[in-house]
Amino acid sequence: QSALVHTFNGIPFSTRSSKELLHTLDSFEAREDDVLLVSYPKSGTHWLAEILKNLYRTQQGANGCGTVTLTSPIEFGDPSKYEDLRNLPSPRLIPTHLNYKMLPVQLKTKKCKMIYIIRNPKDTAVSLYHYYKDNPNLPTVDKWTTFLEKFLNGDGHCILSHFPFYNETFVLEFSLQDPTESVEQISTFLGVNLTSEQIDDITRKSSFNEMKEQAQKEKVDANNTVCALTSNKRLIFRKGTVGDWKNHFSTRQNKLFDERFGERMNSSELAKSIEY
C-alpha cells in the first residue's frame, strides 16, 4: 500500500506531487469500451458497481471475464496500479470519485461511456457522517451538527464539477422506487441485451439486503483504510434507504443546507469552466 502523501483539490492522492499526479492521469491508456462509474462518495457507488458487474457477467455467461476494476487506480492516481489496469480484459468497469476535469484525458477523447450516480446530497451527508463515525481508520468526527457544518464548508468540488456533464452521460438517480427499471435503463445504455428474467435476477442480486449479506461473508482487508470499494464492506451497507436525512436534520439545518447548496451550485466557477 502506498501512503497518501499529498492532496489535490481536496482529494488525497498517493502520487508525490500535483505535477506527478496530472502526468499520471494523462498517461492512462483508455479503451473505447471502458465504462466509467462516476460518483460523489456515498452516492451508491457499490450498488451501481454490483449492477454493472452482474450485467456483464450475465451477458458473457458463466465463464465471462467481466471485471470490476477497483477505485484506487484512478481515484488516488496511483501509478503502480496502471500496469494492473493494462492487463485487465475488456470491458473494464472503472469506478471513480474524480471530477470531470480531472479524469484522464483519453477517457474523454475516446468517448468512453460514463454512468454518473447521484443521490440527494442530504442523504449523502448523513451516510458520510456515519461512515466516519463507524470506521476506526478514518479521522474521528464530532457531533452531527459539527460534521454538517464542516460538510457545508467544504469545497464540494465533486458534486459541483460533476453536474455539468449531465448530458454526456447516463445519470442514474439513487432511488429505490423501481430498481428493476434502473437496471433496465443501464443495460439499454450499455447495449447489453438481457431477458426480463435476467434483469430480475440482477435486480435481486444488487438489492441492499443481498449485498449486505454478501458483505458479511467477505474477509476484511485491514490494510486498506481508504478505498471504500476494497476496504471493510460491512461498513458500507448501513441503512440503504432514501430520506434518512429527515432523521438527522433539524428545520434550521435543512434551511441552511438548501441555502448553501443553492449558492454553491449557482456560483461554482469550476462548474462553469468545464469544456466538452
Pairs from 102-106 (Cβ < 8 Å, separation ≥ 24)? 102/8, 102/9, 102/25, 103/25, 103/36, 103/74, 104/25, 104/26, 104/27, 104/28, 104/30, 104/74, 105/25, 105/26, 106/28, 106/29, 106/30
Q: Which of 6, 23, 97, 248 is catalytic?
A: 97
Instruction: Enumerate residues 80-139 that contact ligand PPS by CB under 6 A.
Output: 123, 127, 130
Backbone angles phi and psi of 214, in degrees to 5: -60, -40
From the CB of 176, what's the least distance to ligand PPS, in Å?
6
Q: Is 130 a catalytic residue?
A: no
Distance in Å, CB of 16 to ligand PPS, minimum: 25
Cell 494523462 appears where? Answer: 26
* Residue of 228, 232, 248, 270 interacting with ligand PPS (CB under 6 A): 228
Task: State yes or no: residue 43 binds ligand PPS (CB under 6 A).
Answer: yes
Tell me how crowded residue 106 is: count the other CB atoms within 10 A of its CB: 17
For the bound state, the minimum distance from the C-beta of residue 37 to ligand PPS, rounded and expressed in Å, comes to 10
Give min distance, CB of 153 to ligand PPS, in A: 20
Query: Which one among 240, 245, 253, 271 touches ligand PPS, defined by CB under 6 A?
Result: 240
Number of residues that bind ligand PPS (CB under 6 A): 24
Question: CA-to-CA distance for 210 and 214, rounded, in angstroms?
Answer: 6
Provide the minimum distance between the beta carbon of 32 and ligand PPS in the complex, in angstroms, as a whole number.
Answer: 26
CB–CB of 128/248 below 8 Å? no
Q: Does 237 bind ligand PPS (CB under 6 A)?
A: yes
CA separation for the pair 104, 26 (Å, rounded): 5
In this chain, which stretch among 17-25, 152-160, 196-204, 205-213 interacts with ligand PPS, using CB under 6 A? 205-213
| DSSP-assigned states of every residue in 202-237 | HHHHTSHHHHHHHHHHSPP-TT--S-TTTS-GGGT-
Instruction: Pick between residue 31 and residue 204 the one whose CB is nearest to ligand PPS.
Output: 204
Residue 238 interacting with ligand PPS (CB under 6 A) = yes
- Please, are residues 234 and 216 in contact by the beta-carbon 8 Å criterion? yes
Tell me the catalytic residues: 97
Residues at the interface with ligand PPS (CB under 6 A): 39, 41-47, 123, 127, 130, 176, 206-208, 211, 228-229, 236-240, 244
